[in-house]
Amino acid sequence: MILLTPELRAALRANDVARCIAVRDRRREPDPLPLVKFFNPMGAATWIATELYDDDDTLFGLADLGFGCPELGSFSLREIACVRLSFGLFIERDEHFIAMCPLSVWADVARRTGSIISAEAELRRRPEPPSGNELPPAGG
């Protein structure tokens, strides 16, 4: 499996460029939605990423190696791709991943619940925020 499609790679790079511009202009850094999720099909290790640095290897996001303490930081795409698991398996990309909320929210929920996996379950149970297109309640 290709861990990063050209489209994902471009979107992750665009997020990094936006962050760099915000830092340069002394504006608040963006809090983007995670764009990609990687996971160990035989264990709890999970990573979600929002940015790909210009070295085309370093990702920024939330890393959870399954020890109950997810952390924000940088990690290497090449290292993730090189992990060899039992039965000829590798780290995989979740092709059905939906971000649902910005990285800061993922980090807060993952730290509180102890993992990205449990954070994802909690975030899926939350009601969707209003889109702004709803009519006000009758009589209100």
pLDDT of 139 over the 60 cut:
no
pLDDT of 132 over the 50 cut:
no
Token pair, residue 69, equals 């303490």
In this prediction, residues 107-123 reach a mean pLDDT of 96
pLDDT of 125 over the 80 cut:
yes
Q: What pLDDT was estimated at residue 140? A: 47
State the Cα angle at 71 between 66 and 76, rounded to 5°: 85
Q: What pLDDT was estimated at residue 129? A: 57
**Is residue 7 within a helix (H) or strand (E), and if so which, with residue range?**
helix 6-24
pLDDT of 119 over the 60 cut:
yes
DSSP string, 48-91: EEEEE-TTSSEEEEEEE-SSS--EEEEEEHHHHHH-B-GGG-B-
Mean pLDDT of all residues belonging to the chain = 91
Kindly state the percentage of the chain with pLDDT values over 70: 91
Kindly report, residue by residue over 42-96, the tens digit of the pLDDT. Answer: 999 999 999 999 999 999 999 999 999 999 999 999 999 999 999 999 999 999 9
pLDDT of 103 over the 80 cut:
yes
Q: What pLDDT was estimated at residue 60? A: 98
Q: Count CA atoms within 13 Å of residue 6 on its CB side.
A: 0
Q: What pLDDT was estimated at residue 51? A: 98
Q: Which residue has the higher pLDDT, 140 or 53?
A: 53
